[in-house]
Structure 1
């Protein structure tokens, strides 16, 4: 009888215990992963529409080559880095882990292929994609015990390519609405603006950065107008184009290479706008991309100095 009671209690325990699957289903999703997924879906859709409706002028093979090269480069670099630091690769752990790992190189590959214009040559796009992925491993700062990249990969690949090869340019502004006329020519930028704003407000939480960047852009234009006599409408017109909207909502808001704190975001956005104004004043073309690289490097320097100061303070306190 004791055996039957024990067996009955054991069965009751089995029946009343909650299934382990419930915990997994209820677990919250990582907002950063969700943001990367939305970014990847948005830029994929924009490329498909670009080659079918908007009038992208690059060869249709360009995004395919960029994606393949970006995937391969990211996997090779991560494998080498994992081996060098005696750790498991970030893509190890199943198909879902691999898919999440490939989201950033997916975005970088399509961004470089979409924003650069290398005439009939494919290798400038390939070069930009390789630089974009490599920048995540070359320029890193240790934050809270972990190595983190400080440069925006896509922007860095584009900026380095423009700097080294003067015959490579940026896709012209009309590139994004080349085959659109009438109402569609302004509905498309508006739609991109709304989608990007919702994404950044809901997932990346970068609205303070966007506000500071846009406000700083207007401010630097007003300052140049008052001090240099430049045309104010001419300096503000770029804000109405698709290129500026894309840069503002999808480039400068990269979660991995921008601050999280509200004050840091505001400082980052204002710094980028100020650097852009100085570059344009000095006659530097493609100022948006170079300004973002410089701002990211300045932020990296601040992180290094802050870490050194904290270590020095801790060492002094233990003596």
Structure 2
């Protein structure tokens, strides 16, 4: 992420009013939401999802209500119209795409036994973090923490007995070639979506390439089985994470070099955490890199503010000096 990603207007950050997303991002979110919905339907009917069938609906109701309430409060505080109004039913649906994706992802990826309120807590945290952990980007406040990843991370930290959903439940009730077809289809659809709409191909390249590097490095330095470290890349969970979580367009950089660094950073931190025998490294690594990016964005903002203040002070001094020089010239006596 470069300095051009943070801008301000007269030193003030503009509030997030107006249209929620540009058409290209809306299309990407719509496709993400449809893909997530279809995958959940197949998960409960074919693949072998182990959470109760009612929980996705509870997660969606929680995510929708949290998103709408926080938007209403934010709009009132900022003196603007809520972003779910003005576009009719379609506008409301488009506004709720992020909450839809986050809610289904939370329920699908976390396993909290029969404690549904823990899942509800995670959804509230995931959706709510967009209003708490924000940084100025191009003069507007934008959330920088991946919502669903952060919600899962908080659950894992607050409730040590909780865990992520076992990877086998994505293909528990299928076998044979279907075990390979499922990740292949997800990979093809996700790659096309990210290449054409979100533009996060460079991020995926950074993540995947450095994942291989850290796996080989751990194998050489820590005597880890390199094939075992690399075989994870063939699973449905890894493919889902690569195409639908780490590439979140709202919390990742846009420029190719910054994208590559973001993805590579996640892989490097994952390797460090895994090397220290810390479980759930994918989620902790993503949260760490998002946090680093947020701190970086705030740093750029403060640097810009300081530069603007120095320039304003310099202009003020020049104006004062110019006025003093004019007064001095007026006091001079011209000899006859």
> What TM-score comes out, normalization by structure 1 length?
0.89
> How do 1:293-304 and structure 2 match up within 5 A?
293-304=287-298
Q: Distance in 1 between matches of 2:223 and 2:307?
A: 48
RMSD: 1.0
Instruction: Kindly provide the CA deviation profile for residues 225-272 of structure 1, in whole angstroms up to 9, marking residues without a partner as x.
Output: 111111111111211110000000000000000000111101101111
CA drift of 1:311 comes to 2.1
SS at match of 1:255: coil
SS in 1 for 2:175: coil
3-state secondary structure, aligned to 2:250: helix
How many angstroms does 1:35 deviate by?
Answer: 0.3
SS across alignment from 2:193: helix
Q: Partners of 1:281 and 1:126 in 2: how far apart?
A: 32
The aligned residue for residue 319 of structure 2 is: none
Identify the structure with bigger relative contact order (alpha carbons < 8 Å, sequence gap 6+): 2
Q: What's the counterpart of residue 306 of structure 1?
A: 300
Offset of residue 284 of structure 1: 1.1
Q: Distance in 2 between matches of 1:176 and 1:143?
A: 37
Counterpart selection for 1:95 from 85, 89, 94: 89
Q: Which runs of 5+ in 1 are unaligned?
A: 1-28
Q: Secondary structure at the match of 1:188?
A: helix
Q: Post-superposition shift, 1:31?
A: 0.8
Q: Secondary structure at the match of 1:80?
A: helix
Candidates 40, 45, 50, aligned match of 2:43: 50
Q: Using structure 2 for the length normalisation, give the TM-score.
A: 0.85
Is the partner of 1:167 in helix, strand or coil? coil
Q: 2:62 aligns with which of 65, 69, 73?
A: 69
1:236 equivalenced with 2:230 (yes/no): yes
- Pick from 154, 177, 180: which aligns with 1:186? 180
Where do residues 1-319 of structure 1 align in structure 2 (5 Å cutoff)? 30-93=23-86, 94-318=88-312, 319=314
Question: 1:52 deviation in Å?
Answer: 0.3
Aligned length in residues? 291
